[in-house]
Amino acid sequence: DRLLAPEAGSEEAALESALRPRTLDTFIGQQRVKDQLGLVLEAATARGRAADHVLLAGPPGLGKTTLSMIIAAELGMPLRVTSGPALQHAGDLAAVLSSLVPGEVLFLDEIHRMSRAAEEMLYLAMEDFRVDVIVGKGPGATAIPLELPPFTLVGATTRAGLLPGPLRDRFGFTAHMDFYDASDLELILARSAALLDVPLAADAAVEIAGRSRGTPRVANRLLRRVRDFAQVRADGHVDLEVAHAALTLYEVDEIGLDRLDRAVLTALLTKFGGGPVGLSTLAVAVGEESETVETVCEPFLVRAGLLARTPRGRIATAAAWGHLGLRAPAGSAA
């Protein structure tokens, strides 16, 4: 499990659940989403009906699962959790839907990875609170309509663009979640530190926030690693010096690049003059699979404005030269 990965590691779930905010008020940042969602929930509560279906769209680690729990809590309803990959057959979905209690919130993570058959069943369920269960095969097959209790679907996706239009249209409200700015991450870190009983100095929080890639999950993970360092190598207090030394030890640099990110960037600059260079050539130069470079390193390097993917190959930006303290050669692509 990579220190800066936005996805949860295999043993991270229990650690994370202790840090999840439980109410909309304690959910930090994403003000626009909070305002809009607050209104949707308040209106539903006032009407005494199941709330409109909600789609949460955005990169991993920004709080989609957390928000789904908050939605259920604010509505005072139980929450059922499932995911697209778990619903490979329409029957899997029918079983989940028919066992919901009235008003229940169904969280469907990775909704873009649901099977086609489950997806079509979901259309009808979302619209009419009904599914057609097909019994039998071939000419003798019959559709048995099954009434469902009213429920609120909360779908989450990292790839809103991949959702078919008819599915997207059936959500009453879509929340587009964005990366957090440093000041929100500082607040998240301060809150987590209090919950974990870690004395965290304000300037240390600034230091960790700046290296967290705009992602609360990464911020919390870095905090746990810095806490380890503080306990073993210092007196348990996380001050600026401790945070700095810990993050240096873990090879997370000032803007949140790790060793592999820096190796890719260094190879691009020093071996290929800043590019353009093909992905596979670049991957060989750092001794990695192309897929790893493409899916693990590049998204953040692109977002940080250090690397560009062009039809001719990968190119370093002027900022990349600056970040590694190198000077771009005259006439380079940057």
Residues with catalytic annotation?
Answer: 64-65, 109, 158, 217
The binding track of 6-25 with respect to ligand ADP, each residue x by CB under 6 A or -, is ----------x--xxx----
The amino acid at residue 45 is: T
Which residue numbers belong to the known binding site for DNA?
309, 314
Tell me how far, at minimum, the Cβ of 203 lies from ligand ADP, in Å.
20
Among residues 23 and 310, whose Cβ is nearest to ligand ADP? 23
Q: Using the rule CB under 6 A, is 63 a contact of ligand ADP?
A: yes
Do 130 and 148 contact (CB within 8 A), yes or no?
yes
> Does 27 help bind ligand ADP (rule: CB under 6 A)?
yes
Beta bridge partners of 153: 106
Q: Per CB under 6 A, does 247 bind ligand ADP? A: no
Q: Are the C-beta atoms of 8 and 217 separated by less than 8 Å?
A: yes
Q: What is the largest CA-CA distance in the chain?
A: 75
Considering only 64-72, 87-95, 268-276, 306-314, which stretch makes contact with ligand ADP by CB under 6 A? 64-72
Three-state SS letters, 175-200: EECCCCCHHHHHHHHHHHHHHHCCCE
Which residues are documented as binding site for Mg(2+)? 65
For residues 212 and 291, give the distance between their C-alpha atoms in angstroms, rounded to a whole number.
23
Candidates 61, 214, 256, 276; binder of ligand ADP (CB under 6 A) is 61
* Residue in the structure block whose two tokens are 């991270």: 12
Report the residue from 5, 28, 55, 153 that binds ligand ADP according to the rule CB under 6 A.
Answer: 28
- Token output for 298: 């590049």
Beta carbon nearer to ligand ADP, 163 or 188 = 188
276 binds ligand ADP, rule: CB under 6 A: no
Should residue 189 be labelled a site residue for ligand ADP when binding is judged by CB under 6 A?
no
Q: Count of residues for the chain? A: 334
Binding status of residue 155 toward ligand ADP by CB under 6 A: no
Contact indicator for 274, 326 with CB cutoff of 8 Å: no
What single-letter amino acid sits at 41? Answer: L
Q: Residue 268 in contact with residue 278, Cβ under 8 Å?
A: no
Smallest gap from Cβ 272 to ligand ADP, in A, equals 34
Give the distance, in angstroms, between the CA of residue 33 and the centroid of all CA atoms in the same chain. 15
Nearest to 209 by CA among 176, 238, 173: 238
* Binding residue ranges for ATP: 19-20, 61, 64-66, 127-129, 170, 180, 217
- Determine if 160 is a binding residue for ligand ADP (CB under 6 A): no
Q: How many residues bind ligand ADP (CB under 6 A)?
A: 18
Which of 29, 84, 256, 313 contacts ligand ADP by CB under 6 A?
29
Q: How far is CA 144 from CA 17, 100, 120, 134, 250, in A?
A: 40, 19, 15, 6, 58
| Contacting residues toward ligand ADP, per CB under 6 A | 16, 19-21, 27-29, 60-66, 188, 216-217, 220
